[in-house]
Structure 1
Amino acid sequence: MDQDRTNGRAGADDDPRSFELLAESVGTLFWLADWNTHQLLYLNGAYERITGHPAEELFEKPSAWLARVDPAHRDLIVNDMLNEERQGRFDRTIRIFRPEGEARWVRLRGYPVCDDRGRVTHLAGTGDDITERKNALEGLRATRDAYRSLAENAGDLITRHALDGRILYASPSMEDLLGFEPGRTIGARLPEWLAPEEVEAMARRGLERLDSGQPELFEFPVRHRDGSRRILQSSCRLLFGEDGQPQEVVAVSRDVTKQQQAAQALVESEERFRQLAGNIDGIFWLVDWKSGRVIYQTPAIERLWGDDPVESADAPFVWVTRVHPEDRPLLQQGVERLRSEGRFEATYRIVRPDGELRWVRSRGFAIHDAHGEIERLAGLAEDVTDRRRLEERVQQTQKLESLGVLAGGIAHDFNNLLTGILGNASLVLEQLPADSGAYAMIQEIDHAARRAADLCSQMLSYSGRTTLVMRPLDLTGVVRDILPLLAAPLRGTVVEYDLDERLPPIRGDATQLGQIVLNLLTNALEALGDAPGSIRIRTGTGFVDAATLRESYLKEELPAGDYVHLEVADSGCGMDLDTQRKLFEPFFTTKFTGRGLGLAAMLGIVRGHGGALILDSAPGEGSTFRVLFPAREGARVTRPEGTPVRKRDATDATILVIDDEAVVRSVAERILRDGGYRVLCAADGQSGLDLHRDGNGSVGAVLLDLTMPGLSGEEVLRELRRRSGALPVVLMSGYTESEVGGPIRELGYGGFVRKPFASRALLDPVREALAAREGPRPGFPS
């Protein structure tokens, strides 16, 4: 019986051996069962290979194989086999389990076997292990689902295109990017969304670039459904069929409109920054902290530094060598502040390639990385040279003004004191015979008082409170007029003269300009000392630019133009920078003797003439002083002419003296009484007005001090003019006549006496005022 089963005779007409050889040589499961009894008649070896169970168990128990079937599939396959209507025809895929538990998928198919009368007698079937195929399909399906999920949920637009541009597939992002429903775009052509100018270009470039089979990146403008213009960036790849021919194009696209706009805005912003950076004076810079390499700096660096000091990688800190050696510690301090505070500020000097010094103010801050470490240093540098010069000028001006006020105040008070000495000395000299033993001593007192008065005059010159009689002058002529006064001191000294006889005139005060010549030559002689040397005196004219004028000691904003100059140079010991800075300060002197006011007073005279002073000196190389005065083309040089004084014999006129200084009142009273006048004295303005009122018109003239406590000289003069407009009033002051203000000039006065004064200096203005009592003098003479 077993032999019958294995040979599968079961009524087969074919050669049993041939059938068996065929069935055993293939991997497909073959089986044959009796339709009526369900007895298994044949089963090839594939059963054991597929299920892992022996075939003998089925011949003993035909239903044993159902135990190997997944319970979910058992009823299905049993119904398929026993279904009368289909007579055993079925095709079912079931899952079975091998002994070790491995699941396998098997496709079972059944076929009815009929006799000659068409009746079903047997049920034949086949089975194929499709596990690998099914797993591959499942993997492919999972991959497909994953890709579909990815495509449908991606923010980018994923499309498939036929070679003629028709859309075969579009992901849902189509609606977000272009405003179209994906389903309605199937079959549409890509050019319908391209901007017209891009259609031809895309067609020309597209396939040419895709032929390599590698992904290619395209950027092109498209039209949104709402009509707006968008920029798409697409990564495209050409897919080839099994025959190697191009089949379709897959594209992944994203909207880069905002990125393009941002990039364009960045480009425009950078261009604006370059234009701004190229036209501002400040220098923006960015430096790598560790290497010191300059990452960026604005073009203004060349205007400030004189060239472009961008350093190489081998010498990243070479620009520091341009910083003035004295100021380099300031930079080091700035670096230390940067480490501790994260920012720094420093003002220092740099030396340009041409040797010019410039002041630079740098402000910087640290840029930190993600770990809090300093990564870069950014900052701004600006040229503050002009600002520093302005500050120096302001400081110098304030200093000069303060010292000028002090010097002027001291000179005024000293002049009041000297009035008593000089006035009384002049009275005594007029009364003593020349052969008197005391005459010479009084002369010494008079001489000393006049020297003190000269000192006060220099102090007033420094303060700018001097009377300047301005007229066109020849500077060479002024020098020649002064030289005889220095003939004796200059004897034995080599003096070189280079005096231009064809100078344009300058407008100045001859006495004050003579003082400048005298002071410069005296200073040159003292610089030579006892050592042999030479002095050069030169006059000339030429154009002077604004930069040179700004470097002068006065540092005034003088206009560029033609200037006449006086130059005095000596071969003496010279001066260092510290001495030069202090040289024109009042009372500063390098000598053991002297008052230290000559050069300071000279600076005040130069300022009063709208000029400038330049000094060039160095230790051991001598000094050169160059004084500049604006040239006055077309003006005629004049020489001062004597003004005849109309003298009148003393009368019995009454003179009212109003001054708050007792010594001045006493001297004035003696001089006036000695001159034949009656005198009334008042210690302040109100007392003077009271005496004038009580005199009932007997006062012939008033000698009035300008500066008094209580009622000022101007207030007293105003009241006197209200009472008697023609009353002669002679003003007195320790300052000069130029200090007389506009309101006083409008009121008018008959003369001016500067303190200290001798008898003749007081009597002459009083006589002139009385002689001209027919009308007040309108202001001071021109």
Structure 2
Amino acid sequence: MTDGSMSASSPAELPPFRPLSPEQIAILELSPNPKLVLDAQFRVRFVNKATTVYANVDRDTLIGQNVWDAYPALRGSIFQQAYERVLLTGEPARFERHDHEGDRWQSVYAYPSDGGVIAVLEDITEQRRNTDRLRESEETLRLAQEAANIGSFYRDLRTGEAHWSDQLIRICGLDPATFEQARIRREPRLNFVHPEDSDAMRSAWRRAIETGETQTLHHRIRRADGAVRHLFTSIMLVRDESGRPARVVGTSLDTTKQRAADEERQRIDAQMQQAQKLESLGVLAGGIAHDFNNLLVGILGNASLALLEMEGNAVARECLNEVEAAAQRAAELTRQLLAYAGKGRYVIEAADVTQSIQDMSALLRSATTKSTSIEFELTPALPRIEVDLNQFRQVVMTLVTNASDALGEKYGTVRVITGRQEVSAEYLAACVPGTVSSPGTHVFVEVRDTGSGMDATTLRRMFEPFFSTKFTGRGLGLAATMGIMRAHQGAIRVYSEPGKGTTVKLLFPSRTEPSTVIPAAEWRHEGRVLIVDDESSVRAVASSLLRRRGMRITEAVDGADAVERFAVSPREFSLVLLDLTMPVQSGDRTLQALRALRPDVPVLMMSGYNETDVKRDVGPTVAFVQKPFTADELYEAVRGVLGIGRR
């Protein structure tokens, strides 16, 4: 195929193209290699920055064009071969080519993603050269080991004579001084190779003799004392003068310690990668919290103002209440991302488990695969539990996505169940080790799947940090789930068998005392407030709300503007409402400047981050209100700072 089109009957059926998420775009942008995203019609849907630099193109003009029309030189290239192979088979494809003139190697790797195809261009010249160097190095090492008599052996194919070096005898746990070399010939079955690796060893010997090519393999042996060691063995055929097979020679290197060191290094590398990923997510979450929450302040604040102005229109009030509820759910999504990135702890509150899961049911459905049927069996009127709702929702999301992943491509069911249970000490003893709950009444959330289940080894390790049976980067993780449950004085019970699915039950101690919501008290204050925020919508909402309580307002567009206005008459201001993240001068630096002018000025800090993180950055002496806020939340925060209108 050279015309950039596919036949109607041959291509694999791709789902409709889905636009890339911000997270996918961020990952593609971070790649140092050129990456392109095409849909099934070969239209360019995305190119990363590395592509624009490599090809010297303007991404805005390229988006939406047919790639072969935009770059006719690519027709018939490995680009087109890779894309068409993916569309034809639905499977990833890789093609390589060698530029003989420049003596360079290039690789194109393409794979399907969300109804499109992503291709990665990479210069693999150094990889190819390194592979060649490694092959030469291995040959040099083999000869050096043979010359140094390091774990060497040989067998004469004509006479059957065999010999092991002293080092190989020691590796096998024997004493060279008492070992008779003749035993190898008298006892041809004398073999320390681990039974599970015997077939691979025999196959390596056979290939070496039949093809004349050097064979290498990693394998285990069981020493004379029963200990298991890991070896790296090379097997080479030596021919006589007439070219006929004469001997098989080889070396065996004990790699047990090296293998343990490699596993430890891989474990540390995995931890570092996880930490770097979370750090990147933290930066991304910070930007989302600042920009998105500022928008939500305008939505929530103006909805609150409209409700305050509206008296008799019940239909309009109901619509505004829905606007408030939707904006609050959007704010919770932002806080979930912050929690995922490790941005501190959140406020514990009395929560209705059933209602919380009902509120996130649509989100749970969207997180499962198309082959997953999710069902809810939610018990109403359960006792409330003391819980951080953001962390609770993330734990439930983790369990549901894990359950959906366990189904693979097969159709199956994930069932989410809530209920009440009296838990005994014996029951808790059978829960996952490390739980800290006490006997008594518990509220549970149970997630069941009809997937493949887990064996005993996986079941034991499922809550270990960085342990996974699937690809990485899939959300909160079960290790964090265990930490969250421990922080909530909860317990986890797991039931699973291969072929019978998995059930994970979260148990939370129930709350005994009733929970009530007290509305903010009416109060008025005639002081002056300095409102500092770079977003005009935030300033407008806060100003309108506080003017309704009799306060006079001075607005500042950034930290430097705030310090300049405050310095004119520091004692005039009863309160400073200060944003944490601003251009020109950040909130923490502005706070220091204001306190230098007047140490006792009351300050109410605003931020999309949680209170724990903010006070860690600016100190515990400031009050806090989290964006986005409703009218009642802002009034309550201001009342608390000024110590007025107490109930």
CA displacement at 1:766 relative to structure 2: 1.0
The answer as to whether partners of 2:605 and 2:625 remain within 8 angstroms in 1 is yes
> Which residue pairs with 1:189 in the alignment?
none
1:2-401 equivalent positions in 2, closer than 5 A? 286=151, 288-290=153-155, 295-296=168-169, 298=171, 313-314=188-189, 316=191, 319=194, 321-322=196-197, 375-382=249-256, 383-384=259-260, 385-401=263-279
**Whole-Å Cα distance in 1 between the matches of residues 605 and 569 of structure 2?**
20
**Whole-Å Cα distance in 1 between the matches of residues 560 and 581 of structure 2?**
14
> Which residue pairs with 2:14 in the alignment?
none
SS in 1 for 2:251: strand
Match among 589, 614, 623 for residue 715 of structure 1? 589
> Which residue pairs with 1:460 in the alignment?
338
**Whole-Å Cα distance in 1 between the matches of residues 551 and 199 of structure 2?**
72
**Whole-Å Cα distance in 2 between the matches of residues 410 and 293 of structure 1?**
69
Identify if the C-alpha distance between structure 1 residues 728 and 293 changes in structure 2 by more than 3 Å, giving closer, same or farther.
Answer: farther
> Which residue pairs with 1:160 in the alignment?
none
The answer as to whether partners of 1:417 and 1:663 remain within 8 angstroms in 2 is yes
The answer as to whether partners of 1:366 and 1:376 remain within 8 angstroms in 2 is yes
CA displacement at 1:404 relative to structure 2: 4.0
**Whole-Å Cα distance in 1 between the matches of residues 495 and 219 of structure 2?**
21
> Which residue pairs with 1:198 in the alignment?
none
The answer on 1:769 being equivalent to 2:641 is: yes
> Which residue pairs with 2:105 in the alignment?
none
* Amino acid in the other structure paired with 2:470: R
The answer as to whether partners of 2:375 and 2:414 remain within 8 angstroms in 1 is no
**Whole-Å Cα distance in 2 between the matches of residues 524 and 410 of structure 1?**
26
SS in 1 for 2:571: coil
**Whole-Å Cα distance in 2 between the matches of residues 678 and 313 of structure 1?**
99
The answer as to whether partners of 1:612 and 1:627 remain within 8 angstroms in 2 is yes
Match among 403, 420, 423 for residue 298 of structure 2? 420
Identify if the C-alpha distance between structure 1 residues 713 and 642 changes in structure 2 by more than 3 Å, giving closer, same or farther.
Answer: farther
Q: TM-score, normalised by structure 1?
A: 0.43
**Whole-Å Cα distance in 1 between the matches of residues 172 and 472 of structure 2?**
41
> Which residue pairs with 1:581 in the alignment?
470
**Whole-Å Cα distance in 2 between the matches of residues 694 and 318 of structure 1?**
86
The answer as to whether partners of 2:220 and 2:230 remain within 8 angstroms in 1 is no
**Whole-Å Cα distance in 2 between the matches of residues 770 and 436 of structure 1?**
34
The answer as to whether partners of 2:399 and 2:504 remain within 8 angstroms in 1 is no
> Which residue pairs with 2:528 in the alignment?
654
CA displacement at 1:672 relative to structure 2: 1.8
**Whole-Å Cα distance in 2 between the matches of residues 403 and 349 of structure 1?**
41
* Amino acid in the other structure paired with 1:450: Q
Identify if the C-alpha distance between structure 1 residues 343 and 744 changes in structure 2 by more than 3 Å, giving closer, same or farther.
Answer: farther
> Which residue pairs with 1:664 in the alignment?
538
CA displacement at 1:563 relative to structure 2: 4.8
Residues 403-424 of structure 1: CA distance to partner in whole angstroms, max 9, x if unpaired? 3442343233211221111111
SS in 1 for 2:474: coil
Identify if the C-alpha distance between structure 1 residues 434 and 397 changes in structure 2 by more than 3 Å, giving closer, same or farther.
Answer: farther
The answer as to whether partners of 1:543 and 1:563 remain within 8 angstroms in 2 is no
**Whole-Å Cα distance in 1 between the matches of residues 375 and 310 of structure 2?**
41
Identify if the C-alpha distance between structure 1 residues 568 and 755 changes in structure 2 by more than 3 Å, giving closer, same or farther.
Answer: same
CA displacement at 1:449 relative to structure 2: 1.2
**Whole-Å Cα distance in 1 between the matches of residues 284 and 153 of structure 2?**
55
**Whole-Å Cα distance in 1 between the matches of residues 332 and 254 of structure 2?**
55
Identify if the C-alpha distance between structure 1 residues 434 and 760 changes in structure 2 by more than 3 Å, giving closer, same or farther.
Answer: same
> Which residue pairs with 2:547 in the alignment?
673
The answer as to whether partners of 1:415 and 1:755 remain within 8 angstroms in 2 is yes
CA displacement at 1:402 relative to structure 2: 2.7
Match among 482, 492, 505 for residue 353 of structure 2? 482
> Which residue pairs with 1:704 in the alignment?
578
Q: TM-score, normalised by structure 2?
A: 0.50
> Which residue pairs with 1:683 in the alignment?
557
CA displacement at 1:754 relative to structure 2: 0.5
CA displacement at 1:674 relative to structure 2: 2.6
Identify if the C-alpha distance between structure 1 residues 772 and 743 changes in structure 2 by more than 3 Å, giving closer, same or farther.
Answer: farther
**Whole-Å Cα distance in 2 between the matches of residues 567 and 293 of structure 1?**
65
> Which residue pairs with 1:150 in the alignment?
none
Residues 735-757 of structure 1: CA distance to partner in whole angstroms, max 9, x if unpaired? 101112546225x11x2111111
Identify if the C-alpha distance between structure 1 residues 737 and 286 changes in structure 2 by more than 3 Å, giving closer, same or farther.
Answer: same
> Which residue pairs with 1:625 in the alignment?
504
* Amino acid in the other structure paired with 1:685: G
- What 5-or-longer segments of structure 1 have no aligned partner? 1-283, 302-309, 353-357, 472-477, 549-559, 587-596, 632-636, 774-782
* Amino acid in the other structure paired with 1:759: A
The answer as to whether partners of 1:572 and 1:622 remain within 8 angstroms in 2 is yes
**Whole-Å Cα distance in 2 between the matches of residues 754 and 416 of structure 1?**
11
Identify if the C-alpha distance between structure 1 residues 509 and 430 changes in structure 2 by more than 3 Å, giving closer, same or farther.
Answer: same
The answer on 1:433 being equivalent to 2:311 is: yes
The answer on 1:409 being equivalent to 2:287 is: yes
The answer on 1:752 being equivalent to 2:624 is: yes
Residues 298-350 of structure 1: CA distance to partner in whole angstroms, max 9, x if unpaired? 4799xxxxxxxx9x84385853734999xx99999x999xx98x997x8x798
The answer as to whether partners of 2:435 and 2:491 remain within 8 angstroms in 1 is no
Count of residue pairs the alignment pairs up: 421
Match among 325, 338, 348 for residue 447 of structure 1? 325
Residues 139-179 of structure 1: CA distance to partner in whole angstroms, max 9, x if unpaired? xxxxxxxxxxxxxxxxxxxxxxxxxxxxxxxxxxxxxxxxx
Residues 39-68 of structure 1: CA distance to partner in whole angstroms, max 9, x if unpaired? xxxxxxxxxxxxxxxxxxxxxxxxxxxxxx
The higher radius of gyration belongs to 1
- CA RMSD across the alignment: 5.9
